[in-house]
Amino acid sequence: MHTFVWLGLAALSLGTAHADDGAIIKLPAVQMTGGKPLMQALKERQSTREFSAKALPVQALADLLWAAAGINRPESGKRTAPSARDWREIDVYVVTADGAYVYDPNAQTLHRVLARDVRALTGMQDFVAAAPLNLVYVADLNRMTDANADDRNRYAAADAAFMAQNVYLYCASAGLGTVVRGSVNRQALAAALGLGAHQEIMFAQTVGYPK
């Protein structure tokens, strides 16, 4: 028997349960064709702070997450964004009206960690609570072996920024709006997402159709 979760306006078939709450949602295969040429996307890259409430299609979500942190070299598991010393310490959390999920690039799935709307916690601006999608970049400091605290913070911030820029370019190519944001109530959001002491929120990024 199949169960369905509503992610925006799109129903996704669930697999097995994950942790206490969560369904595992299988995302569609990534579309590797289409979109605008790179130079045009760079020309059109910009920040947007006014968003429509229109939900993103599931295919667009799958493609966007792959652009941020997906695997582009299956033989090694390496990603679309660089990672210092191949730590792969940044996890991408997906926050929608229906809950919060963590992206698993190895299986191209979303793992639900929370079944309530916490979009308002992802930033200080009013638009974050109404935009259809907020991404939260979380560093798992335990993966950053043999690095001191300063280096962990420096490398994690850079690695998350690489992912955010990939999202900017995808959005420019796909006709979406986005803005990256450092003003986040990190303590409240970390508590809501169930993060541990070894996990640090770097920043967040809103995505949606421009208003």
Q: Decide: helix, strand or coil at residue 12.
A: strand
Q: If you average pLDDT over residues 42-70, what whole number do you get?
A: 95
Report pLDDT for 19.
39
The rounded distance, in Å, linking the Cα atoms of 156 and 188 is 21
Q: Cβ distance 66 to 80 under 8 Å?
A: yes
Return contacts of 74-77, CB within 8 angstroms, 24+ apart: 77/106
- The residues that bridge with 205 in the sheet, in sequence order, are 135, 180
φ/ψ of 73, rounded to 5, equals: -135, 85
Task: Kindly tell me if the per-residue pLDDT of 74 is higher than 70.
Answer: yes
What is the maximum span of the chain, computed from C-alpha positions, in angstroms? 50
pLDDT higher than 50, residue 17:
no
DSSP 15-68: EEEETTTEEEEEPPPPP-S-S--HHHHHHH------B--PPPPHHHHHHHHHHH
Q: What is the pLDDT of residues 151-195, one digit of tens each?
A: 999 999 999 999 999 999 999 999 999 999 999 999 999 999 999
Asked whether residue 32 carries a pLDDT value surpassing 60, the answer given is yes
**What confidence tens digit (pLDDT) does each residue in 113-154 have?**
999 999 999 999 999 999 999 999 999 999 999 999 999 999
How high does pLDDT run on average in the chain?
90
Q: Count the neighbouring beta carbons within 10 Å of the beta carbon of residue 122.
A: 29
CATH numbers and ranges of domains, the chain: 35-96+116-208 (3.40.109.10)
> Structure pTM?
0.89
8 Å CB contact between 163 and 96: no
